[in-house]
Chain A
Amino acid sequence: NAGVTQTPKFRILKIGQSMTLQCAQDMNHNYMYWYRQDPGMGLKLIYYSVGAGITDKGEVPNGYNVSRSTTEDFPLRLELAAPSQTSVYFCASSRHPSAKNIQYFGAGTRLSVL
């Protein structure tokens, strides 16, 4: 089972460049999330989606955009990359929104902005 697939695994950007981090899940989950993980810190929520066409901000949304045109895909867009966005990005999905639902994570994308 593929689960949650993130691409690319690694990327180096120059300041001001843009890129899209891809996330796809094959579990037919309605709920999808983007987190960032900074060194020595836990994961912080950037954006989440409750279904196709519906997205909402998390704790740290500034500098990012998302879209959800299909149930399977939830790309994260960085328009003007800044050094502060150097981080590891994780995409996750869950079947339902309720607190008990387990979130399943992708392998992460390591991004450096220089």
Chain B
Amino acid sequence: AQKVTQAQTEISVVEKEDVTLDCVYETRDTTYYLFWYKQPPSGELVFLIRRNSFDEQNEISGRYSWNFQKSTSSFNFTITASQVVDSAVYFCALSEANSGNTPLVFGKGTRLSVIA
């Protein structure tokens, strides 16, 4: 069965610090997709990134970067030089290619507070 674990429930950092949000997943499929979503205080869920299981290249988008390691079943998310606007709940999610119509399985989320 698929499972996503975000062990960090809450993190607080001071503005301009770097912060890494951890995500560990479990799956029996060889083909799967990993996602990160952001939920700001306004409540909506915003898609950030998608990664497939065959692509282990790290990705950088501005201050955001993602480190995907199949050997440790992890898909960690780093924010460099954090800003107050980064304060949000961040969700990691998994979707298995062979799960039919079963949609995303979410972790419980990590609440990030960036203090000015």
Q: Using CB atoms and an 8 Å cutoff, list the residues of chain A in contact with chain B.
A: 31, 33, 40-45, 48, 50, 56, 58, 88, 90, 92, 94, 97-100, 102-108, 110
Shortest distance from the beta carbon of B23 to any chain A beta carbon, whole Å: 11
Per the bound structure, the CA–CA distance linking A7 and B57 in Å amounts to: 40
Per the bound structure, the CA–CA distance linking A30 and B99 in Å amounts to: 18
Residues in B with CB closer than 8 Å to A44 are 106
Q: Using CB atoms and an 8 Å cutoff, list the residues of chain B in contact with chain A.
A: 4, 9, 31-33, 35, 37, 42-47, 50, 52, 91, 93, 95-97, 99-109
Per the bound structure, the CA–CA distance linking A95 and B31 in Å amounts to: 19
Residues in A with CB closer than 8 Å to B93 are 42
User: A45, A99, A102, A107: which contacts B97 (Cβ < 8 A)?
Assistant: A99
Most buried by A among B44, B93, B103, B107: B103
Shortest distance from the beta carbon of A70 to any chain B beta carbon, whole Å: 19
**B97 with A98: CB separation less than 8 A:** yes
Per the bound structure, the CA–CA distance linking A50 and B103 in Å amounts to: 11
Given contacts A92-B45, A105-B45, 7 further A-B contacts (CB under 8 A): A42-B4, A90-B45, A97-B100, A100-B50, A102-B35, A102-B47, A103-B104
User: A40, A45, A100, A104: which contacts B47 (Cβ < 8 A)?
Assistant: A104
Q: Which residue of B lies closest to A105 (CB)?
A: B45
**A43 with B91: CB separation less than 8 A:** yes
**A107 with B32: CB separation less than 8 A:** no
Q: List 25 A-B contacts (CB under 8 A).
A: A40-B108, A41-B109, A42-B4, A42-B91, A42-B105, A42-B106, A42-B107, A44-B106, A48-B103, A50-B101, A92-B103, A99-B32, A99-B33, A99-B99, A100-B50, A100-B95, A102-B35, A102-B50, A103-B103, A103-B104, A104-B47, A105-B44, A106-B44, A107-B42, A108-B44
**B107 with A45: CB separation less than 8 A:** no
**B101 with A48: CB separation less than 8 A:** yes
Residues in A with CB closer than 8 Å to B42 are 107
